[in-house]
Structure 1
Amino acid sequence: MLTSYPIDLKNKMHSETLNAENTVTHDVFVFIAAPDSLSILKYNSAIFLKDKFVTSRQFVENKSLLGYSFSEDGNPTLYWFSEQEKSIILIKYYLETKTSRALKFQVPLDEQSIITYYQKDNNFYLLLKYKEKQALTAFVFKNGMAEEKFLDFSSFTFRDRRTQQKTFNQILNENPIEKMDSGEYNPLFNVVAKSKLYTLPNRLILTLDQSLRKTQLFDINLDNLEIKEKTFIQTLGHKNARTSNSFYHENKLYQVNVNPDELLFDIKDYNSGEIVKSFTVSKNDTIRFINSPLLMQVENRKPKDLKKTSKFLKELSSLDAGLSVFKNKKNLFITLGGSGRESKALFINGYNMFDDFMGDFPSAGYYNLDTSYSVFFESVWTKKLEFTQDSHEPLAADKIYNFIDSHKEIFLPNILKLNDYSILGYYDINAKAYIMRKFTDGFN
């Protein structure tokens, strides 16, 4: 445990918390928004409390806390959103004078919808999609100013899984964008998305994998608004792919496509498109680049081993495939697999458990169970893309989620990743305090 700050959130169900790092000064901030007050805690890089500011929720009552940015003077700005008013209230908080300044930003939600929002390099970004125009808008909030970036995709050609031509908006409506967390482990249920957004300094990368045959990638320069299209063709197998996907990581594109008989996995150089590594695994092969069993997991139950590659490929080919790439100071970690949902009709001992509640429920004795499940394996590589037999040590994120699952007193958890470790911040409902704990990769 790094620190504990006593605070009594009497109405905790309507409270919010947020952890943040000023990436220039490396000060760590905690924002605790109760229904009638806001507490700002400022810690130095060693997590010693340097300053605090407790103020009212004036102007932002009943508004949700979206995010933050930091000005050049080191003071934070918070972004409070109201869907009803279609606006964001920006409030800059001056810790030296214990004052604040508010501005209102009208979000154009009549003609656009919010895709995502995020922080990068002390700035706050809001990304929207037009309802009619084939375009995105990025708003960059910096030093109290909002700069609008119009990103036009109308000149590009898009095709769906059946190679039918579609508009940009149609593709995104069918395959909503999922933002990947830069520098963090992205779980399998997120990376199976067919449209993924990667956030880089002054740059976005959008990958579209709705086609089984290729990855359509757009490199978006937020300074000059230039959009460059790149196409990465999937390697052909002996049979057509049933499912495919990609993942971008540090100037490499990782691609996978699967059918019941084989798995094809390529690592390609982003700039040249050349294949750096390529693997073909048939259903009768042993997967050589693997550091874990072949696993199948239903809901949150303990994963079970799938003994044969053929069984793994059969299950994976029926799911949405995906892969996640994460790097720490030592190694590169790849998770490859797929996830999906299955609805099954079950019969329980001749008794329909819904009878008491549903009256004339159809097919008495049967009910539909909607179950999520996944299959996957883990692989550990060196940073030079050489396969290693190193054991897959737990990541800080793994330990944080295990800790949350086993501690019922945790409320409003936030995870902040720093250079050498991650911080779990949360409200402890028993201790009536805001707690910050440190977690690191590897075995303790």
Structure 2
Amino acid sequence: MKKLLLFISFVFIQGFAQTLVSTQHLELKKPWDKRQIICISAEDGNAFYSFASDKQRIYALKYNQALFFRDSLSTTRPSKDVDYIAGTSFDSSGNPFVYWFSEDRSKIVSTGFDFSSRKSFEYPTSVSFEKETFLNAFSAKGKFFLLTVSDEEQQLFLRCFTDGKPELHTLDFSKFELVSQKGKKFKLAEFFEGNPLQFIEPEVFCPLNVAASVAKLYVSSDSLVLSLDHDSRFSQFFLIALSDFSVKEIRNNQPELSIENTTSANSFIVGQSLCQLRFSDKELALSFENSLDGNTEPVVYRTKVEESISFKSSPLFVQNGNNKSSEIKTTAKFMRRLENSNPAISAYKSPQGILVTCGGVKQTMNTTNVILGATLGVGMIAAGGGSVNPGDFLDASVLQQVYFESLFDDSFKFDTKDQLPIASDFISQFLDENDDITTYSVGRFGKSEILTYYDSKDKTIVLRKFTDVSNDDLFGN
């Protein structure tokens, strides 16, 4: 009965948690693969912008704080030298900019829109990658950032764009060491070559396959935080101050295990708090602290392979590719599934508390295709078709995620109440049910997430608002 009531409530609040807020006529020219959309909220929260482009033009649509359409501008799309939109920023007057990258990222063109003067402007920038390597590009705090690593020195280069033009800052890492668990010292460029840097969007649910990255980058109120988890004994953080671009190192130990000879670990930052996951083939531990510096007493949850996990809010799951998740019955089977996987932990602040997803991610071969490949191989040998490689018939490996979810309060006390859906659940379901939507973007606006997409049938730019569900929504309080 409890599950039935929750299902009925879910169906009822599904409509409540999503709202169609705007449709604006706009015809994007073919071909479809030249169409792009990106959206962003103004820093003061008083405006929301969506940008849509086709092979000829780019359109800027402005909405007020109630997400009512207010104005639009358009201009010619930049030259063919640039291929895709990489991010956005705002200048000191609040005018939005869109940044275009060439395929090799060496050419950047910014397109700015001034709604008061009804003018647009364009600035080109070139980046030489002769002695540096691209790491990531992202939008945060009203700016657009391009981060690269020096190929020769222990330095990162941070380019900050606000008004379409970059300011270059050198981040000095010469006094810090990156050392593997076996004692090998890394140069920065060498480390990132094997560990691509993943930017973590603030205040948005992070999928487990993204959270599994060894190297992650976060943005806080006054700094960027570079998080490295290449050593299962501790997490290594570098705080990059946005005021003077100085760099500070912090290390925070992973939770101890009774058997530590072969362990895997990762971490995740949510707000100002640190979540850490560490496991071996015999046990698993989750650790939480209210700061990164390790000066506070951690809250630790542990389980062993022969025990049931007392701090989980969901069943134990395994998911292969985009297939539906299936349940794993025991902790022992779950731990076996974790073997040879990349550890992953993700945390999201919802109206209910802190939702934590943890487990492992790895690439596996699709079982059906393995059997098919083996059968084809035998058949080809029998038929004398030895020149054909059976591997050509196999699909690429499938991403497998093994995980469970837990709900904690702000003090990281385990919460036994039922977990309610969040905005990203509804967005995923909406896109699954409308698979004809191929050009879209999701942006945070206040406490909601805005899905902006192009409806090719009605030739409109559509905004839908999605919100997390709270207990008040469920019970009507």
TM-score (norm 1): 0.93
* Correspondence for 1:296: 318
Which residue, 229, 253, 271 being the options, matches 1:250? Answer: 271
**Contact kept? 1:149, 1:222, Cα under 8 Å:** no
Describe the shift of the 1:140–1:354 C-alpha distance in structure 2 as closer, same or farther (beyond 3 A). farther
Look up the SS of the partner of 1:275 in the other structure. Answer: coil
**Contact kept? 1:232, 1:273, Cα under 8 Å:** no
What is the alpha-carbon distance in structure 2 between the residues aligned to residue 82 and residue 230 of structure 1?
A: 36
Mapping 1:21-170, distance limit 5 Å: 21-57=41-77, 59=79, 62-83=82-103, 86-170=106-190
* Correspondence for 2:406: 379
Higher share in strand: 1
User: Once structures 1 and 2 are overlaid, which stretch shifts more, 301-310 or 109-118?
Assistant: 109-118
**Contact kept? 1:194, 1:245, Cα under 8 Å:** yes
* Correspondence for 1:265: 286
Describe the shift of the 1:320–1:58 C-alpha distance in structure 2 as closer, same or farther (beyond 3 A). closer
What is the alpha-carbon distance in structure 1 between the residues aligned to residue 352 and residue 255 of structure 2?
A: 30
* Correspondence for 2:241: 221
Report deviation, 1:211: 1.2
Which residue, 426, 431, 435 being the options, matches 2:458? Answer: 431
What is the alpha-carbon distance in structure 2 between the residues aligned to residue 3 and residue 353 of structure 1?
A: 58
Look up the SS of the partner of 2:182 in the other structure. Answer: coil
* Correspondence for 2:467: 440
What is the alpha-carbon distance in structure 2 between the residues aligned to residue 96 and residue 234 of structure 1?
A: 53
Describe the shift of the 1:310–1:383 C-alpha distance in structure 2 as closer, same or farther (beyond 3 A). same
What is the alpha-carbon distance in structure 2 between the residues aligned to residue 160 and residue 117 of structure 1?
A: 26
**Contact kept? 2:351, 2:468, Cα under 8 Å:** no
Look up the SS of the partner of 1:20 in the other structure. Answer: strand
**Contact kept? 1:35, 1:62, Cα under 8 Å:** no
What is the alpha-carbon distance in structure 2 between the residues aligned to residue 326 and residue 25 of structure 1?
A: 21
**Contact kept? 1:39, 1:54, Cα under 8 Å:** yes
RMSD of aligned C-alpha atoms? 2.5
Report deviation, 1:328: 2.3
Which residue, 357, 371, 377 being the options, matches 1:347? Answer: 371
Report deviation, 1:108: 2.7
Look up the SS of the partner of 1:410 in the other structure. Answer: coil
Mapping 1:177-326, distance limit 5 Å: 177-239=197-259, 240-268=261-289, 269-326=291-348
What is the alpha-carbon distance in structure 2 between the residues aligned to residue 346 and residue 67 of structure 1?
A: 40
Look up the SS of the partner of 2:144 in the other structure. Answer: strand
Higher share in helix: 2
Describe the shift of the 1:354–1:252 C-alpha distance in structure 2 as closer, same or farther (beyond 3 A). farther
Q: Is structure 2 residue 28 aligned with structure 1 residue 9?
A: yes
User: Once structures 1 and 2 are overlaid, which stretch shifts more, 32-41 or 53-62?
Assistant: 53-62
User: Once structures 1 and 2 are overlaid, which stretch shifts more, 61-70 or 314-323?
Assistant: 61-70
What is the alpha-carbon distance in structure 1 between the residues aligned to residue 396 and residue 200 of structure 2?
A: 30
Report deviation, 1:242: 3.0
Report deviation, 1:66: 1.8
What is the alpha-carbon distance in structure 2 between the residues aligned to residue 9 and residue 354 of structure 1?
A: 50
Describe the shift of the 1:163–1:364 C-alpha distance in structure 2 as closer, same or farther (beyond 3 A). closer
- Number of matched residues? 443
Q: Which amino acid aligns with 1:88?
A: I
What is the alpha-carbon distance in structure 2 between the residues aligned to residue 398 and residue 75 of structure 1?
A: 32
Q: Specify which structure has the bigger relative contact order, considering alpha-carbon pairs within 8 angstroms and separated by 6 or more residues.
A: 2
The runs of 5 or more residues in structure 1 that have no matched partner are none
Q: Which amino acid aligns with 1:32?
A: A
Describe the shift of the 1:52–1:416 C-alpha distance in structure 2 as closer, same or farther (beyond 3 A). same
The runs of 5 or more residues in structure 2 that have no matched partner are 1-19
Residues 88-138 of structure 1: CA deviation (Å, up to 9, x unaligned): 122322222222222222223222222222222222211112222221111
Q: Calculate percent identity across the aligned residue pairs.
A: 25
User: Once structures 1 and 2 are overlaid, which stretch shifts more, 334-343 or 101-110?
Assistant: 101-110
